[in-house]
């Protein structure tokens, strides 16, 4: 009862920030805990437009069915969540139901957030009530007909959603369970790294085994060798999440944003817990045979690689740790889809920046001087050299990605 009183669930419809302040002897600790939980959940990614007030909404979220906008979750009473009470917030996190029972779309990852404990949601709620209220009307549903009919979500939930808080595995350590809680719940790693079915639900049999999202390939992050994190140590995983780079890889695209906004700010013990959990997943994998070195695409690709790529990534694909990514025996290189690699070659890329690594290296675009066939050949060569073995890349795949980038 004391906690509920301290939270002041009956919110006043006022616009001053003090009206939403949490009171009570444990308020500071509760709010600070909630702030950290917001960081773990990377709330900024979907609810804060760069340069706009914190959590004021409007971030465009691309889905296979159309565009959604992240909601305003400041305590503004008219356009935010200022008139909500905690039970309505809990209902959103645990069941995907907004105020007045409105069904949310799974772009808000409630399928993962349902695992978050009520206690953690209470702290997050306390923190959100201290954010500056911002009047910003956001029409979140931008989907075309018939996907804009929320009633369809009842069927989606029946097929893809299991409600319930995270349940620790008594056979595993406390550290492993903490990692599982973060990966499955607040971190919602499966939202990107788990492949999706035709209606956008997770393929539960392939959890964290890699998924395509918004023109990027989120790689397999299980402990399996060749296509996953089998060669990475726990310290390698921690370093990557903390700095955006390690001896194997450099974060790019949506993952660079996740590192910048979220994981670089996680406590070291939480990062290590995640590493312990991921390294314990799925260790069996049948490594395919690479293409023969004398295949025409391999021969052509080798010449392009030696001319355009080897100066940074080195002739043997080892790269330079934390500066130019390692291509030899690299999980992303061995992914079943080459979409991220195609995108980076065509559009170039700049690594994210973190407090620990404030200067991110960049790769130039090669779209202007490499044809679709050139890009396909060099990527086929990379994906089948130095211990790599992955399907060849076709010119049509490159052409499709080039057209997608031109439309962005």
Parse the chain into domains and list their residue ranges.
2-160, 205-408
Q: How far apart are CA 43 and CA 108, in angstroms?
A: 10
Q: What is the pTM of this model?
A: 0.85
**Cβ(357)–Cβ(376) below 8 Å:** no
Q: How far apart are CA 231 and CA 225, in angstroms?
A: 6
Point out the least confidently predicted range of 107-111, 135-139, 212-216, 317-321: 212-216
pLDDT at residue 134 greater than cutoff 60:
yes
**Residue 97: strand, helix, or coil:** strand
Instruction: State the average pLDDT over residues 306-333.
Output: 91
Instruction: State the average pLDDT over residues 207-224.
Output: 89
> What percent of the chain stands above pLDDT 90?
64
pLDDT tens per residue, range 161-214: 899 999 999 999 999 999 999 999 999 999 999 999 888 889 988 999 998 887
Q: How far apart are CA 42 and CA 139, in angstroms?
A: 21
**Residue 62: strand, helix, or coil:** strand
Mean pLDDT over each residue of the chain, to the nearest integer: 88
Beta bridge partners of 250: 245
pLDDT tens per residue, range 333-390: 998 889 999 999 999 987 777 777 776 678 899 999 999 999 999 999 999 999 999 9
Query: Class assignment of domain 205-408?
Result: mainly alpha
Do you know the residue count of the chain?
408
Beta bridge partners of 363: 349
């Amino acid at each position: 009862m004391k906690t509920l009183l301290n939270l002041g669930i009956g919110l006043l419809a006022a616009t001053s920030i003090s009206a939403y302040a949490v009171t009570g002897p444990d308020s500071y600790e509760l709010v600070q805990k909630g702030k950290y939980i917001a960081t773990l959940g990377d709330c900024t990614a979907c609810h804060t437009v760069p340069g706009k007030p914190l959590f004021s909404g409007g971030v465009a979220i691309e889905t296979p069915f159309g565009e959604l906008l992240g909601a305003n979750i400041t305590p503004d009473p008219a356009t935010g969540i200022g008139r909500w009470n905690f039970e309505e917030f809990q209902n959103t996190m645990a069941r995907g139901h907004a105020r007045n029972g409105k069904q949310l779309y799974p772009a808000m990852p409630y399928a993962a957030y349902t695992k978050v404990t009520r206690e953690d949601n209470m702290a997050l709620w306390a923190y959100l009530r201290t954010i500056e209220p911002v009047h910003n009307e956001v029409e979140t549903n931008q989907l075309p007909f018939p996907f804009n009919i929320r009633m369809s979500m009842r069927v989606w939930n029946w097929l893809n959603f299991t409600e319930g808080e995270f349940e620790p595995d008594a056979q595993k350590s406390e550290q492993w369970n903490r990692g599982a809680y973060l990966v499955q719940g607040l971190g919602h790693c499966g939202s990107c790294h788990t492949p999706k079915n035709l209606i956008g639900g997770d393929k539960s049999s392939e959890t964290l085994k890699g998924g395509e999202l918004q023109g990027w390939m989120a790689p397999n992050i299980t402990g399996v060798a060749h296509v996953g994190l089998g060669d990475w140590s726990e310290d390698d995983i921690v370093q990557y999440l903390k700095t955006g780079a390690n001896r194997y890889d450099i974060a790019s695209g949506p993952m660079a944003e996740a590192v910048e906004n979220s994981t670089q700010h996680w406590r070291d013990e939480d990062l290590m817990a995640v590493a312990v959990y991921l390294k314990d997943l799925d260790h069996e994998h049948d490594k395919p045979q690479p293409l023969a070195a004398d295949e025409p695409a391999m021969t052509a690709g080798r010449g392009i690689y030696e001319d355009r790529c080897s100066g940074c990534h080195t002739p043997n694909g080892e790269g330079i740790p934390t500066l130019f990514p390692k291509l030899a025996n690299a999980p992303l290189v061995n992914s079943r889809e080459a979409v991220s690699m195609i995108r980076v070659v065509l559009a170039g890329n700049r690594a994210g920046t973190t407090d620990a690594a404030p200067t991110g290296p960049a790769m130039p675009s090669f779209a202007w001087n490499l044809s679709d066939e050139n890009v396909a050949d060099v990527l086929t060569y990379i994906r089948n050299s130095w211990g790599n073995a992955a399907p060849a890349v076709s010119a049509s795949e490159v052409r499709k990605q080039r057209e997608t980038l031109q439309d962005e």
